[in-house]
Amino acid sequence: MKRDIKRIAVLTSGGDAPGMNAAIRAVVRTATYNDLHVYGIMEGYKGMINGNLVRLENKDVANTILRGGTILKTARCEEFKTAEGRQKAYDSLVAFDIDAVVVIGGNGTYTGAYYFSREFNMPFIGLPGTIDNDIYGTDFTIGYDTAINTAVEAVDKIRDTASSHNRLFFIEVMGRHAGFIALETGIASGAAATFLPETDWGIDELLSMLKKAAIRKKLFNIVIVAEGNKNGDANELARLVHENLDSYETRVTTIGHLQRGGSPTASDRVLASRLGYEAVNSLMKGVENKALGIVNDKLHKVDFWDAIHKKKELNQEMLQMLEVLAM
């Protein structure tokens, strides 16, 4: 039976991602337009446990669409993984008469939503907020496009000094378990090689390529390294090259958390706004416990279980293109 939704809560959890504020803004304004009350949960599931909820109105999200990070803050919460912690969180929602919750985050956020919604029969809708783009059920996640642009801009600047000094730069980007950022950064920056967690391309292939390049007198190159690749981090790869080749002077740069900050791109703002708008409309239509995404430019819904457990694969055509264009 369709529920009577009057009050909804929204939270951000896990790592912050550019565009989260745009999603919050869309949730608040869509809900307000439909005469719903909205409460922001501060610091994710930790704030849910502690009852840290604040009323949000249109004025509270004014001029937030351009801001990075999250105005609701975010935090890891081990207590929410316990039955006792989730009971406290439910009691907090009941105290504020919350009828449904919109969560914005990644795999861990979805896992919490899955178990909580099953235990307490509370409707949840999930929005994919993570720069890693590793959530099943959506072509792109909120923050991914901004992270790519940040990484490519950094690589372009490093290329100038690499060329000036004939140096080989190993540039490490985020991606412990997924190589989406590294893949697109490698293509967009014209990298000589790209190391991904999903591929078997190794140090021997890199050494062979660099030897051929040295014969052609090309002594500067850019190598993109996902932090979770199988051959070690950027420092380890640089060390191995230094030990096996005396032709190159190597340097290492880790872009790190720069990729998570900054004003979101237009693409991320539109994606986040679209998903926030659809989250409220979905709840009003009786949709429950689904993760929303965009596939082939259309709204797509999957069960939380599938979003958590099904693996999103890299585009094989892009992988082949990466190899060809790097030759």
Catalytic residues: 132
Q: State whether the Cα torsion 311-316-317-319 is positive or negative.
A: positive
295's tokens: 């596939």
| Rounded CA separation 170/223 (Å) | 5
Using CB atoms within 10 Å of the CB of residue 296, give its burial: 0 to 12 exposed, 13 to 18 middle, 19+ buried: exposed
| Neighbouring C-beta atoms of residue 40, cutoff 10 Å | 23
> Which helix H or strand E contains 292, and what residues bound it?
strand 290-295
- Cβ within 8 Å of residue 125, ≥6 positions away: 100, 101, 102, 103, 279, 282, 283, 287, 288, 289, 290, 291, 292
- Give yes or no for a contact between 50 and 92, defined as CB atoms under 8 angstroms apart: yes
- Give yes or no for a contact between 123 and 31, defined as CB atoms under 8 angstroms apart: no
| Rounded CA separation 269/65 (Å) | 7
